[in-house]
């Protein structure tokens, strides 16, 4: 077996919380248990919300956690040409189209569609599927926007993409902690249509989470993607992109989530569970591990 390579890939758009501590520690432990390496990747494609100060705080938190990081640390903001290149390859395959509807127009369309009780389909993250230009714009409006190059985003034509790849597509789901790390995987069928035509790039950000994550997992030689259960469904999109771009298929290991007192997933806007505020309040490493069930 080639040497396993794990990664922790946080976005410095807020402070790390208990859920990130669990993810970082599980990755570090798995790398030790499987005699692999452990890399950190800074997912900072959103250059308005990710700041150098937050990134510095993030590394301070990781240092305090005591996770031993291997080099190099990769920063997505320094890699835009690579994502553009991958996007162009997808465009050459004919599976990308310019999408002209703004977020506000999609929102208005969905509100209007649902006003009498009908339900517009949502993706696994709860965002409405892209309705397509025909549902919202007149042919003249579409023509005007095409002529003025007013594309708001580039989207993957999911049906066209699936038609190009060998289906059924699957991934192998392994365990994320303890003895489950060594268990045989279960095969999970990809359900990419549930996501509709995902965004690959926007006017203000020349790539998207989905595109950059598959490009980077491949170029960093990541063999094991160990991340939160909240990204389980997104793996379907990642497998489609890997298949289109001819990238290797990593092992996937999705871990349990730490929920807040309200029973919901932790968010970066909740200061109570940020590692920074817990640290300032004097939490010990032992107490932290207890709170995240390690
Ligand atoms: N950057 C993502 C986040 O902070 C994680 C990406 C991944 O692990 O695939 O939620």
- 20 C-alpha to ligand 1 centroid (Å): 10
Ligand 1 lining (C-beta closer than 6 Å): 9-11, 43, 213, 227, 231
User: Residue 155: is its pLDDT beyond 90?
Assistant: yes
Q: What is the pLDDT of residue 282?
A: 94
Q: What is the pLDDT of residue 64?
A: 95
User: Residue 240: is its pLDDT beyond 90?
Assistant: yes
Q: What is the dihedral of CA 247, 253, 258, 262, to 10 degrees?
A: 70
Average pLDDT of every residue of the chain: 94
- 10 C-alpha to ligand 1 centroid (Å): 5
Beta strands in the chain (DSSP E): 5-8, 37-42, 70-75, 96-99, 153-156, 170-173, 186-189, 199-202, 224-228, 251-255
Q: What is the pLDDT of residue 194?
A: 97
Residue bearing the CA closest to ligand 1, atom 7: 9
Atom of ligand 1 nearest to the CA of 7: 8
The total number of residues shown for the chain amounts to 294
- 202 C-alpha to ligand 1 centroid (Å): 19
Q: What is the pLDDT of residue 166?
A: 80
Answer whether 112's CB lies under 8 Å from 172's CB: no
Q: What is the pLDDT of residue 167?
A: 78
Q: What is the pLDDT of residue 244?
A: 98
Residue bearing the CA closest to ligand 1, atom 1: 10
| Backbone torsion region of residue 206, taken as left when φ is above 0, otherwise alpha when ψ lies between -120 and 50, otherwise beta | alpha
Residue bearing the CA closest to ligand 1, atom 4: 10
Across-strand partners of 129?
Answer: none
Distance CA 233, CA 192 (A): 9
- 90 C-alpha to ligand 1 centroid (Å): 22
Q: What is the pLDDT of residue 151?
A: 79
43: helix, strand or coil = coil
Residue bearing the CA closest to ligand 1, atom 10: 10
Q: What is the pLDDT of residue 225?
A: 98
Distance CA 264, CA 155 (A): 30
Could you tell me whether strands 199-202 and 153-156 are parallel, antiparallel, or unpaired per DSSP bridges?
A: antiparallel
Would you list the DSSP string of 79-134? -HHHHHHHHHHHHHTT-EEEE---HHHHHHHHHHHHTTS----B-TTSPBPP--GG
Section 115-141 average pLDDT: 94
Residue bearing the CA closest to ligand 1, atom 3: 10
Atom of ligand 1 nearest to the CA of 43: 1
Look at residues 23, 1, 46 and name the one whose alpha carbon lies nearest to residue 209.
46
Q: What is the pLDDT of residue 65?
A: 95
Q: What is the pLDDT of residues 85-120, one digit of tens each?
A: 999 999 999 999 999 999 999 999 999 999 999 999
Q: What is the pLDDT of residue 33?
A: 97
Q: For residue 123, with 0-12 CB atoms within 10 Å meaning exposed, 13-18 middle and 19 or more buried, which class applies?
A: middle
Q: What is the pLDDT of residues 36-65, one digit of tens each?
A: 999 999 999 999 999 999 999 999 999 999
Name the pTM for this structure: 0.95
Cβ neighbour number for residue 188 with a 10 Å cutoff: 17
Could you tell me whether strands 170-173 and 70-75 are parallel, antiparallel, or unpaired per DSSP bridges?
A: unpaired
Q: What is the pLDDT of residues 168-183, one digit of tens each?
A: 899 999 999 999 999 9
Q: For the ranges 155-164, 224-233, 259-268, which has the lowest average pLDDT?
A: 259-268
Atom of ligand 1 nearest to the CA of 228: 8
**140: Cβ contacts below 8 Å, ≥ 6 apart:** none
Distance CA 232, CA 293 (A): 20
Residue bearing the CA closest to ligand 1, atom 6: 9
- 227 C-alpha to ligand 1 centroid (Å): 7
């Amino acid at each position: 077996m080639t040497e396993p390579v794990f990664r922790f890939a946080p976005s410095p758009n807020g402070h790390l919380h208990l859920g990130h501590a669990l993810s970082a520690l599980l990755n570090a432990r798995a790398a030790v248990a499987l005699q692999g390496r452990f890399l950190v990747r800074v997912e900072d494609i959103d250059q308005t919300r990710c700041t150098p100060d937050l990134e510095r705080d993030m590394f301070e938190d990781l240092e305090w956690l005591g996770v031993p990081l291997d080099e190099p640390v990769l920063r997505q903001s320094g890699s835009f040409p690579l994502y553009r290149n991958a996007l162009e390859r997808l465009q050459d395959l004919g599976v990308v189209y310019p999408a002209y509807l703004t977020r506000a127009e999609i929102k208005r369309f969905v509100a209007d569609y649902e006003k009498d009780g009908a339900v517009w389909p949502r993706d696994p993250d709860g965002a409405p599927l892209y309705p397509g230009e025909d549902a919202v714009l007149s042919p003249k409006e579409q023509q005007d926007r095409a002529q003025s190059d007013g594309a708001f985003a580039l989207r993957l034509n999911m049906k066209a993409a699936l038609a190009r790849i060998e289906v059924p597509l699957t991934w192998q789901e392994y365990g994320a902690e303890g003895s489950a790390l060594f268990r045989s995987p279960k095969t999970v069928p990809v359900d990419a249509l549930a996501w509709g035509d995902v965004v690959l790039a926007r006017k203000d950000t020349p790539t998207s989470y989905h595109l950059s994550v598959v490009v980077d997992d491949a170029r960093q030689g990541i063999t094991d993607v160990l991340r939160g259960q909240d990204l389980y469904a997104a793996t379907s999109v990642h497998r489609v992109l890997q298949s289109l771009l001819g990238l290797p298929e990593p092992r996937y290991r999705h871990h349990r989530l730490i929920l807040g007192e309200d029973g919901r997933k932790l968010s970066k806007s909740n200061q109570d569970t940020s590692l920074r505020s817990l640290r300032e309040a004097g939490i010990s490493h032992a107490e932290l591990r207890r709170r995240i069930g390690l």
